[in-house]
Homo-oligomer: A and B are copies of this chain.
Amino acid sequence: MDETPREPGAPTALAVGLTAAIVAATGEEPRVLVVRTPHGADALPSGPLEAQHRTLEAGLRSWVERRTHQTLGYVEQLYTFGDRDRRETDGEGAQRALSLGYLALVREARTAGAADASWQSWYRYFPWEDWRGGPPEAIAALEPPLREWAAQGGKLGEERLRLNFGLGGARWNEERVLERYELLYEAGLVPERVRDRKEGAPLPEKVRGVAMAVDHRRVLAIAIGRLRGKIKYRPVVFELMPPSFTLSELQRVVEALSGVRLHKQNFRRLVEQQGLVEETGESRAETGGRPARLMRYRREVLVERLAPGVRLPAMRRG
């Protein structure tokens, strides 16, 4: 690994694979590309790392493009998983598997290349993450079993619950997607946990979300959390937008990703003040109301601002 291995013995040889959360935004929904395993489970596209590419990212791109006929825009490495107990089917002596998780953003959500691939709203897997229409029903349904679980863990568990699910007056933090999922996992409320440990989870799918193969829901949780954080200080939303769009369309995509409703006038003030967009000169009617100006992304903002991104002027009351 090093020019000078400090410990005797060569590096361990491992099986390494890639898993990609490929995200688009169409029709007010944040979508992720999922495939279906022969067992009928939803899964993220994943496959082996190929040796012939110069960089990991290049390998990911070529593999995804070949497999899904999607051209990837923005690509970001998320996390490398290496838990030994990741592969359920293997015994103690199994070779350790390593999995590199990636987030990729694509502009157009074509109906996929492979026949078994489809675009799904990511809230299908995380129903408790969508607060656009007020506190989601899933939260109400999850609260009692969560509280029960937390009570056993004592003070610490209750604080985690409060912090992550915004229960005891604490504010909802839309970025803590992974923390919430892991808490639900620990509490035995998601089917993956049942699959892994054979405990009971009598919750309906609308509450606990649709399960995914292996740890793919965890990868997706990381992807969502990262993206929700990143749009605030990097202009990555525009990777999901068409070349020209109205401010309302932009707002709806940001709301879809972050899962919260935003204050319209303040949203446009922020976006325009930061210089993230400029008018194209054209406008579009279609909505039934006053026609909206069409805008386009201003690349120059990158050199002008330290942290150009879409702040979230959330609706607090009303």
Contact = CB atoms under 8 A, between A and B. Distances in A.
B48 A1 contact: yes
Copy number of this protein in the oligomer?
2
Most buried by B among A13, A17, A18: A13
Given A15-B10, A54-B84, A3 B49 contact: no
17 contacts: A1-B19, A1-B48, A1-B97, A3-B37, A3-B39, A6-B35, A9-B48, A12-B15, A12-B16, A14-B15, A51-B96, A54-B85, A56-B82, A56-B83, A59-B82, A77-B80, A171-B306
A47 B5 contact: yes
A180 to B, nearest CB: 14
Interface string A69-94: 00000000101111111000100000
Contacts of A99: 1
A204 interface: no
B213 A46 contact: no
A296 interface: no
A115 to B, nearest CB: 12
A83 B99 CA distance: 16
Contacts of A80: 56, 77, 80, 100
Interface in A6-39: 6-7, 9-19, 35, 37-39
A214 B15 contact: no
A19 B79 CA distance: 15
A48 B159 contact: no
Contact of A98 (B16, B38, B79, B304): B16
